[in-house]
Every structure is written in C-alpha cells, then in structure tokens.
Amino acid sequence: MSSSSVALVVFALALVFATLSHQCHGGEVPLQVGYYRGKCPLADVEAIVGGVVKAWYKRDPTIPAALLRMQFHDCFVNLFSFNFFFLVFKGCDASILLDGSSSEKTSVPNLSVRGYEIIDAAKSAVETICPGEVSCADIIVMATRDAVALGGGGWYIVQTGRRDGTVSLAKNVDLPSPSISVSDSIKAFAKKGLDATDMVYLLGGHTVGITHCSFILDRLYNFQNTGKPDPTMDSSLLAALRQRCPQNASVDSSVNLDQNPLSSMTVDNSYYRKIAMNKGILKIDQELALDPLSNSTVSAIANGFDFSTKFGQAMIKLGGVDVLTGKQGEIRSSCRAINKPSK
Ligand code: HEM
Ligand SMILES: *[C@@H]1O[C@H](CO)[C@@H](O)[C@H](O)[C@H]1NC(C)=O
Ligand SMILES: *[C@@H]1O[C@H](CO)[C@@H](O)[C@H](O)[C@H]1NC(C)=O
Ligand SMILES: CC(=O)N[C@H]1CO[C@H](CO)[C@@H](O)[C@@H]1O
C-alpha cells in the first residue's frame, strides 16, 4: 500500500473508533443530580462551593460574567481532537483550566476568560474536606450556577458526576467568531446537541459582562468593508460607542454587553429587550434579534417572564455536552494540571 492509502486506512479506523466511543460515550454512566451526596459523608460539596462563590461575589460582582463565559468555553471546545489513532471527545471537562504553553488558556479566543482563581479556591475548599472526589469540571458547573443565582438569575439544579479531561491542546479551541451568522451559529450549537432555542437562551449570557472594543470596531467604522458603520445599529448607541471606542485608540476599552445601565451586571432578560431595540453590541447579538431564524424567540423572551427558568435549563444542557463520566478521565488534584502525563 502507498503511504497515502495507509493514512486513509488509519483515518477510517480512527473514525470507526470515534463512532464507537461516541455511542457509548456518557451513555453507561449518566450525570446525576446530587452525585456527591454520600461520596463525602461529612461534607455538602455543593454548599462548600456555593460559600466560596458567595464570598468572592461580595468583592467582585463581575464574577457571574467570568464564570458564565468560562463554562461556555469549557463546554464548547472542538467536538474531537486527533490524539494518536483515537479521537478524544471533549466538552465540559475542565480542560480550559489547565496551565501550560499549548493549553486552551493561551489560545486567542480565551485570552480574556477570567475566574480561574475562584475555581482554585473552591477546589481547595472541597479538597480539604473531601480529597480526591470532586472534579474540576463539576466545580465549574456548580460555581457558575451559584454565580448566576447571585447575579439575579434563577437558581437551577445542576447534574454532577463529570470527570476531568487529561488532554489540552490549543488547537482544540473552536469558538464562534462574534461576526458569525445566526444560521452558522445554529449549526455550531447543533454539533454539540444544542438546538436553536437553546442557542438563543444561552446567548442570554451576554446579559452580563463586557466586550473589548476590538470585537466591535468593524461595526462602528467599517462594516463589511463599506467604510460605514453597521446600518442595523441604533444611532444613539453608535455615537456613544464611537466615543468609547475611538478608531485608532492605543487601549482596548470595554463595553457592557447589556446596554441597560441598571442591569448590565444582572442575569435577566434585559439583553433581549436591548437587542430588540437595535442596541446589540456584538454582531451576533444584533443578528439574533433580526434574523427570521431567531427573531420570534428573541421577542418572546424580551416580553416574557420565564427567562431565568429557561436559561437555567439551557445551562444544564450546556453542562452535559460531551462530558467524561464513570471511569473516563480523572479527578484532578489541582485544577491547573493533569495528574499524570497522558499517553
Ligand atoms: C455564538 C456564540 C458566542 C459568541 C460569538 C460569543 C462571543 C463573545 C465575545 C467576542 C465576547 C467578548 C470577549 C472580550 O472582549 O473579552 C464575549 C463575552 C462574553 N460571553 Fe460570549 N459568545 C458566545 C456565546 C456565549 C454563551 C453561550 C455564553 C454563556 C452562556 C457567553 C457568555 C459570555 C459572557 C458572560 C461574556 C462577558 C465576559 C466578561 O465580562 O468577562 N457567550 N462573548
Ligand atoms: C486611523 O487609522 C487609519 C489607518 O489605519 C487612518 O486612515 C485614519 O485616518 C485614522 N483615523 C484617525 C481618526 O486618526
Ligand atoms: C421576524 O422576521 C421576519 C422576516 O424579516 C418578519 O416577517 C417577522 O415579522 C419577524 N418576527 C418578529 C416576531 O419580529
Ligand atoms: C497572553 C495572555 O494574555 N494570556 C492570558 C490568558 O489568560 C490567563 C488567565 O487569565 C492569563 O493569566 C494570561 O496572561
């Protein structure tokens, strides 16, 4: 056989393995509510994590934004990466937390992911009482839930039992660009088993937090190389953002993703009301309110009362994306490093 046909056979075999491992993946050992009950007889793991998040939130009310973005990034890495002959499926596995030159942390889209210190603090709090039992992947999901509730969103019941991944490579990061179209975004979410409605609710994460000007300069000055701003942007918002984000500034300032100053740090439906008024910040935010694929969901959420519940349900679904369970992965002793080098 020629070397190219050998490569082809190897690739085909890898795909077969991938399909097989995907089929049983997570299937044998599902996540469950209250996985840690009884695992740490003297400790209420969820309450310990909740206490740590609450203490940090008192000092820093931007923590819901930091953790929401962290959970999204952790769960949304590439569906699979090529690891020798086997494809390793990855999702909510805490690989975003790993230190190291080529880990996900250093890849471009993650430059501004924050919140690692809170996860470290929660991990050391649970390790003291219940060593070696609680995964970093579960801590991200529990801590994000607590932060969302503290930030004014609803409390939702999370599933646990995740294990931590043992591979982290910068090339695994496959995040959508802020200029992605609604239809491409729907496809990207569908690859993770999340439907269009889930996507619209999850983008509600942009009801808190900030973007850097660099992600929106094109909309303000040279939209799609027209030399003009994005015509869909509200004109008073455009004027304000041009003040905030000058064209050739030497600093990359920040802009609130939710343009309601009274709720820019509150997890509520205000993001949807603002994008419905053409006050979306990222291009994808504005497109969500305009595209016929998502506009009816957006106006229903903007005018509805059940955002918190539905957002929680979507976060639970996000937390189930390609998890490691049972004997897969490991329980890291430090969230920043895998326990032993992977083969
Ligand atoms: C198509 C999907 C998405 C795109 C293209 C996108 C893009 C972005 C971009 C460009 C930023 C600004 C980053 C910066 O300037 O540092 C951002 C921030 C943020 N994103 Fe998203 N995002 C998406 C989905 C999500 C989802 C599903 C969530 C959570 C459920 C989320 C939560 C956040 C939060 C909370 C921030 C603010 C972070 C902070 O203040 O530190 N995003 N996003
Ligand atoms: C900003 O830089 C561009 C070229 O990068 C230049 O054409 C433009 O005149 C500058 N604008 C201002 C306001 O300095
Ligand atoms: C959504 O967009 C379509 C096409 O532009 C429009 O006909 C429809 O009225 C919009 N729906 C809502 C709820 O805004
Ligand atoms: C290059 C760069 O800015 N990397 C940052 C990525 O995120 C981590 C965690 O916040 C920072 O410590 C790095 O400086």
CA angle 323, 308, 162 (to 5 degrees): 15
Cα separation of 181 and 267, whole Å? 24
Q: Which of 152, 175, 198 is the last residue of a domain?
A: 175
The 8-class DSSP code of residue 177 comes to: P
Tally of domains in the chain: 2
The answer to whether residues 64 and 103 belong to one domain is yes
Which CATH number do you get for residue 203? 1.10.420.10
What's the rounded mean pLDDT across residues 2-9? Answer: 49
Indicate if ligand 2 lies below 6 Å from the C-beta of 248.
Answer: yes
Residues assigned a catalytic role: 73
User: What's the 249 CA to ligand 2 centre distance in angstroms?
Assistant: 10
Q: What is the pTM of this model?
A: 0.88
Residue 5 confidence class, pLDDT cut points 50, 70, 90:
low
> Are 171 and 127 contained in the same domain?
yes
Q: Which of 98, 111, 118, 252 to mutate to test the pocket of ligand 4 (most atoms within 8 A of CB)?
A: 111
- Tell which atom from ligand 3 comes closest to the C-alpha of 298: 13
pLDDT, tens only, 206-218: 999 999 999 999 9
Does residue 11 have a pLDDT over 80? Answer: no
Can you give the pLDDT at residue 174? 61
Alpha carbon distance 268, 232 (integer Å): 24
- The mean pLDDT value of the chain amounts to 86
The residue from 156, 175, 194 where one domain ends is 175
**In this structure, which amino acid lies at residue 331?**
I
Give residue 65 CA to ligand 4 midpoint distance, Å: 17
Among the candidates 175, 204, 222, a domain finishes at 175
Q: Are residues 202 and 273 in the same domain?
A: yes
Establish if 332 belongs to a structural domain. no
Q: What is the 3-state secondary structure (H, E, C) of 317-342?
A: HHCCCCCECCCCCECCCECCECCCCC
Pocket test for ligand 3, best of 295, 298, 301, 303 (most atoms within 8 A of CB): 295
For residue 166, the domain's CATH number is: 1.10.520.10
Residue 195 lies in a domain: yes
Give the structural domain span for 17. Answer: 3-175
- Cα 235 to ligand 3 centre (Å): 21
Instruction: Judge whether 251 lies within some domain.
Output: yes
Q: Taking a C-beta distance cutoff of 8 angstroms, is the pair 338, 98 a contact?
A: yes
> Is it the case that residue 98 has pLDDT exceeding 90?
no
